[in-house]
Structure 1
Amino acid sequence: MSSRLSPEDQQRVDDYLQLPQHRVERRPFRPWMLLVLTVAITVGLGLLSRLISYLVL
């Protein structure tokens, strides 16, 4: 994919992205962990709502 920037502007962008504050190491994205967390929170909130309704009614 060719850049629409001029070579000077592309060099400025590259230099900017190489600054230390933009080079943060991140852990790889794990979609299964997100799914497990979402299901666990949903089940937990459902159980909490049943407990509250049992105590109130």
Structure 2
Amino acid sequence: MSSRLNPEDQQRVDDYLSAPQHQVERQPFRPWLLLALVLSVVLGLGLLSRLLGRLVT
């Protein structure tokens, strides 16, 4: 994919992105952990709402 920037601007962007503060090591993405977290939050809030509903009535 070619850039729409002129070569000088592209070089500045490349220099900026190659700076040490932009080279952060990240842990691999774990979709199953995210799914488990979302499901546990949904189940927890659902159980809390049922408990509150029984306490009110």
Residue range with higher mean Cα deviation, 42-51 or 29-38 = 29-38
Q: Which runs of 5+ in 2 are unaligned?
A: none
- AA aligned to 2:56 is V
What is the CA distance between 1:43 and its match in structure 2?
0.5
Residue range with higher mean Cα deviation, 34-43 or 21-30 = 21-30
Q: Distance in 2 between matches of 1:28 and 1:5?
A: 32
Residue range with higher mean Cα deviation, 42-51 or 22-31 = 22-31
RMSD value over aligned CA atoms?
A: 1.3
Give runs of aligned pairs for residues 9-48 of structure 1, distance below 5 A.
Answer: 9-48=9-48
What is the CA distance between 1:20 and its match in structure 2?
2.1
Aligned length: 57
User: 4+ residue stretches of structure 1 with deviation over 4 A?
Assistant: none
Q: Which runs of 5+ in 1 are unaligned?
A: none
What is the CA distance between 1:49 and its match in structure 2?
0.9
What percent identity do the matched residue pairs reach?
Answer: 70
1:3-24 deviation digits (Å, cap 9, x = unpaired): 2222211111110011222122
